[in-house]
Amino acid sequence: MSSLSDINEIEDLRRLARQRVPRMFYEYADSGSWTESTYRANQREFGNILLRQRVAVNIGERRLATRMLGQDVAMPVAIAPTGLAGMQHADGEILAARAARDFGVPFTLSTVSICSIEDVAEATGGHPFWFQLYVMRDRAFVERLMDRARAAGCPALVLTLDLPVSAQRHKDLRNGLSAPPRLTPWNLLNMMGKPRWCLGMLGTRRRTFGNIIGHVRGVDDMSSLADWSSRQYDPTLDWDDVAWIRRRWPGKLVLKGIQDVEDARLACQSGADALIVSNHGGRQLDGAPASIRALPAIAQAVGERIEVHMDGGIRSGQDVLKAVALGARGVYIGRPMLYGLGAMGQAGVTRALEIIRKELDLTMAFCGHTDIRAVGTDILLPPHPPAS
């Protein structure tokens, strides 16, 4: 399977990415923490939600376009921030940002990206993208990151709240995935079996953490990064820090990692513009509920006060429709984008978006709706995840 005509579902892209991306980087993307129970539940629990088919409804004209954070989007989908996307494919963040720009959906750049804020801004012709922020102990560095994002024209800051400490991810430990990665004989041998990937990485200058190296005193190369990164995630992060960022950031503020109704209420009080119901793709607290299970209660509690988004487990347009029906204004895709990127670069990301759009459009039609903005729980059959 190597041509776009062979790619009909996200699973096709996943299988191809697994063939083409070195194991340590593929498994970094396609794994969860500890037993991976939450990682698996994110996807599995979408299958427990049943759709209500309607017939003899005029569905000749359909609309998927809507708005997220006041921005027009081709469908209620954004590209999630994903670390090390530039290790799935050379210049990965740039390619994904271009695909999102051309498709008409938002792209979110991670703090721990390979391509820098400035790289992506230049390569996309200044097209606005969103920036995801981790709060580090080095608050001066955090301030500089916000300033750089603002200078690049980023209209939204996505603040991740659920990584004050990093969970144990067994596959990463086995593969030696660290900062910088450990190039063991096994890893080098595995990379040699991925010639397409190797040629791409040889052809780019972007092989480090572009937002960090050269922007922190004493961190000028990959060898000096390990000590700095090991002590930077801040376990003291609290709502006072969120208030500080809200005062300092002039654009839209999104809080990522909300799983609890009380935290959702605190997010409203913080002055944020949106929240993302998220369990970090099952990569942090193993045993946390699937995002789609947590979504309805949060949407019911605060959906009229703040824009509610979600991520975790989206693998199809049907999943997008179910999330919208349960109260999400929009969703984020991380792994489908990474699968597309690892499989076929920019064309693969575009193909992932095309697949999701087609499935979303057809499923909405089968449910008797013609406008994504009017979709609600009426398209679902009970039982579905409870709203309280």
Catalytic annotation, residues: 280
Distances (CA, A) of 302 to 68, 142, 279, 296, 297: 16, 29, 18, 10, 9
Question: From CA 69, how far away is CA 143, in angstroms rounded?
Answer: 23
Token pair, residue 119, equals 């790289």
28 assigned ligand-binding residue: yes
218 assigned ligand-binding residue: no
283 assigned ligand-binding residue: yes
Residue type, 217: R
CB 134 within 8 A of CB 160: yes
What is the rounded (10 degree) CA torsion for 308, 127, 154, 121?
A: 130
- 382, with CB counted inside 10 A (0-12, 13-18, 19+), is exposed
26 assigned ligand-binding residue: no
Question: From CA 173, how far away is CA 28, in angstroms rounded?
Answer: 10
What is the Cβ-side half-sphere exposure of residue 10, based on CA atoms within 13 angstroms? 22
Token pair 């990064």 is found at 225
CB 100 within 8 A of CB 110: no
52 assigned ligand-binding residue: no
Closest CA to 213 of 119, 114, 147, 110: 114
335 assigned ligand-binding residue: yes
83 assigned ligand-binding residue: yes
70 assigned ligand-binding residue: no
312 assigned ligand-binding residue: yes
Question: From CA 234, how far away is CA 163, in angstroms rounded?
Answer: 8
CB 318 within 8 A of CB 73: no
Token pair, residue 277, equals 């119901």
Token pair 């709502």 is found at 239
195 assigned ligand-binding residue: no
Length of the chain: 388
314 assigned ligand-binding residue: yes
Distances (CA, A) of 162 to 28, 166, 168, 187, 261: 18, 9, 14, 30, 15
40 assigned ligand-binding residue: no
| Helical (H) or strand (E) element with 191 | helix 185-192
134 assigned ligand-binding residue: yes
DSSP 256: E
Q: DSSP labels for 14-35?
A: HHHHHHHS-HHHHHHHS--STT
Annotated binding site for glyoxylate: 28, 132, 134, 169, 280, 283
Annotated binding site: 28, 81-83, 110, 132, 134, 160, 169, 256, 278, 280, 283, 311-315, 334-335
